[in-house]
Amino acid sequence: MNPNQPKILFLCLFLLCTFCASGQTITLEGRLVEHVSSGKRSPVKGVKVSVFPYGQDVTRSDGSFTIEIPQNRSHITIELESKSYEILSPNAGMVVLPPFLNMVEVLVSGEETRPEVTEKVSVVNTKVKQLEKQSKLNQRQLLRLHKLMIDTVLHYETEVFFYKNQIARMETDLSKSENENSILKDSILLLNTQLVRMDERISSLNNQLIVALEEKFLRQQSHLKEVTAALQDYLDRTHDLNDWLSQINNYFKHAEAQKQIVQAIENYNAAWKKISISYDGHITSVRHYWEDHYLAGELEDTYDFILKDVHQEVLHRPFNESVLRPLQDWASRTMGLGAAKKRANAGAAETQEKLKKLLPELEEKVTLLKNRLQNSI
Q: Which of 152-161, 217-226, 245-254 has the highest mean pLDDT?
A: 217-226
Architecture of domain 219-375: Up-down Bundle (1.20)
Amino acid, res. 162: F
Q: How many residues belong to the chain?
A: 377
Counting Cβ atoms within 10 Å, is residue 225 exposed (0-12), middle (13-18) or buried (19+)?
exposed
Q: Please give the pLDDT value at position 154.
A: 84
Closest CA to 12 of 53, 40, 52: 40
The answer to whether 103 and 14 are in contact (CB under 8 A) is yes
Q: Please give the pLDDT value at position 44.
A: 75
Residues 299-355: pLDDT tens digits?
Answer: 999 999 999 999 999 999 899 999 999 999 998 889 999 999 999 999 999 999 999
Q: Is 82 helix (H, G, I), strand (E, B) or coil?
A: coil
**DSSP string covering 201-249:** HHHHHHHHHHHHHHHHHHHHHHHHHHHHHHHHHHHHHHHHHHHHHTTGG
Residues 135-177: pLDDT tens digits?
Answer: 999 988 999 899 899 888 888 888 888 888 888 888 888 887 7
Cα–Cα distance list, 43 to 36, 67, 68, 238, 294 (Å): 12, 18, 22, 54, 31
Asked whether residue 222 carries a pLDDT value surpassing 90, the answer given is yes
Architecture of domain 9-176: Sandwich (2.60)
DSSP letter assigned to residue 335: S
The answer to whether 352 and 245 are in contact (CB under 8 A) is yes
CA dihedral for 157, 163, 167, 173, sign (positive or negative): positive
Q: Higher model confidence: residue 4 or residue 75?
A: 75
Average pLDDT of the chain? 85
- Per-domain residue ranges of the chain: 9-176, 219-375
The answer to whether 223 and 288 are in contact (CB under 8 A) is no
Would you tell me how many other CB atoms lie within 10 Å of the CB of residue 28? 25
